[in-house]
């Protein structure tokens, strides 16, 4: 019996410096796990990072920092590519622009949110790139014929648009060329800010609202110790968001025994929050140590790692180039002969 071809998974992340436990438990840990079951391609999407005002030097350093961070937590180098090393994404994006409904793009909630932000951060300048962002995302996905796209619920609308583009293209070309990708909404923990457990852990909210994977141990301990627990408003028998978040972190860090014991204590009414916080701090520090050690190894031979990622990007590019040849053939465009 021949082995069935493994399903193709594609996901991507924007290069924005540091990675925190919210990113890790909410998405990247799942990327690592999916590598066991599927063929996975993961992109660091630097073209997407240009859609809002940005700093070119920082873009380049953040791109490589993110690559090292992803490798340190267990993403395989052969799965990884940098988007600007596969320029076919932007070429396909143009073609897809011609198969995308302008009206549908105006209804993208991420565009509306981000353009509202621009009012505050860049004097109201909204680039056409920000508007077109979801079409480039569709190109990222379809160019590799991804079956599954692990993303958060906030990306559902972009996935729907991607399927619509694929369908419109297929229909106009009279050929079922593009695979219609499905989102993979894995039930990942939603980690909140230790300083304000009603909001997501996020860098943009400021230093005390996130814990970096590579933060020093004292700082991790301090942030967990000062995490908000009960605000006094917690109803009897109802866990407050801050306490819930601490348990969520413990579970996500796979400190199963401590998790079970402390949860039992919580239900008995004997739990001391300092014990819970100690256990969470220990668990996060333990993980952080592993990640730091792995990252230090990688950084010791920075050149070799960069070369490896450029090679894997080049290999992944050959898939994208094949798709572009097919697409240009179907669209009545000319082929570049290399």
Catalytic residues: 114, 200, 203
Number of residues that bind ligand TRP (CB under 6 A): 12
Under rule CB under 6 A, which residues in 2-21 are in contact with ligand TRP? 10-12, 14
Nearer to ligand TRP, 134 or 197 (CB): 134
Site string for ligand TRP, 298-327 (x = CB under 6 A): ------------------------------
Nearer to ligand TRP, 50 or 234 (CB): 50
In whole angstroms, give the CA distance from residue 258 to residue 275: 10
296 token code pair = 């230090």
CB 148, min distance to ligand TRP, A: 10
Nearer to ligand TRP, 141 or 309 (CB): 141
Q: What is the 3-state secondary structure (H, E, C) of 166-208?
A: HHHHHHHHCCCCCCCCEEECCCCCCCECCCCCCCECCCCCCHH
Q: Chain centroid to CA 313: how far?
A: 18
Nearest residue to 211 (alpha-carbon basis) of 186, 193, 232: 193
Asked whether position 79 contacts ligand TRP by CB under 6 A, the answer is: no
Under rule CB under 6 A, which residues in 125-184 are in contact with ligand TRP? 137, 140-141, 149, 151, 155
- Exposed, middle or buried, 259 (CB in 10 Å: 0-12/13-18/19+)? buried
CB 52, min distance to ligand TRP, A: 12
Buried b (16+ CB within 10 A) or exposed e, 261-277: ebbeeeeeeebebeebb
Q: Which residues contact 68 (CB under 8 A, 6 or more apart)?
A: 295, 298, 299, 305
Nearer to ligand TRP, 149 or 253 (CB): 149
DSSP 309: H
Site string for ligand TRP, 19-58 (x = CB under 6 A): --------------------------x--x----------
CB 137, min distance to ligand TRP, A: 4
To the nearest 10°, the Cα dihedral for 100, 101, 107, 110?
10
Residues that bind ligand TRP (CB under 6 A): 10-12, 14, 45, 48, 137, 140-141, 149, 151, 155
């Amino acid at each position: 019996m021949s082995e069935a071809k493994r399903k193709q998974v594609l996901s991507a992340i924007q290069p924005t410096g540091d990675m925190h436990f919210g990113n890790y438990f909410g998405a990247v840990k799942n990327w690592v796990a999916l590598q066991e079951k599927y063929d996975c391609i993961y992109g660091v999407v630097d073209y997407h990072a240009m859609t809002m005002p940005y700093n070119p030097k920082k873009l380049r350093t953040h791109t490589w920092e993110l690559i090292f961070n992803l490798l340190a937590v267990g993403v395989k180098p052969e799965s990884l590519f940098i988007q600007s090393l596969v320029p076919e994404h932007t070429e396909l994006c143009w073609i897809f622009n011609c198969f995308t409904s302008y009206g549908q793009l105006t209804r993208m909630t991420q565009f509306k949110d981000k353009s509202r932000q621009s009012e505050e951060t860049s004097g109201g300048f909204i680039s056409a790139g920000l508007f077109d962002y979801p079409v480039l995302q569709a190109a990222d996905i379809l160019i590799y014929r991804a079956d599954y796209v692990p993303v958060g619920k906030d990306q559902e609308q972009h996935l729907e648009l991607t399927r619509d583009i694929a369908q419109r293209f297929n229909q106009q070309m009279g050929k079922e060329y593009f695979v219609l990708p499905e989102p993979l909404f894995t039930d990942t923990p939603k980690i909140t800010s230790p300083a304000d457990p009603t909001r997501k852990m996020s860098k943009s909210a400021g230093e005390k609202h996130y814990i970096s994977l590579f933060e020093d141990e004292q700082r991790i301990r301090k942030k967990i110790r000062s995490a908000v627990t009960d605000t006094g408003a917690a109803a009897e028998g109802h866990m407050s968001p801050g306490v819930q978040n601490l348990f969520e972190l413990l579970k996500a860090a796979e400190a199963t025994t401590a998790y079970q014991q402390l949860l039992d204590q919580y239900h008995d009414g004997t739990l001391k929050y300092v014990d819970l916080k100690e256990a969470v701090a220990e668990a996060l520090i333990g993980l952080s140590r592993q990640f730091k050690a792995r990252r230090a190894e990688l950084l010791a031979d920075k050149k070799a790692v960069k070369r490896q990622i450029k090679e894997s990007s080049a290999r992944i590019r050959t898939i994208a180039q094949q798709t572009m040849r097919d697409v240009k053939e179907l669209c009545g465009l000319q082929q570049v002969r290399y």
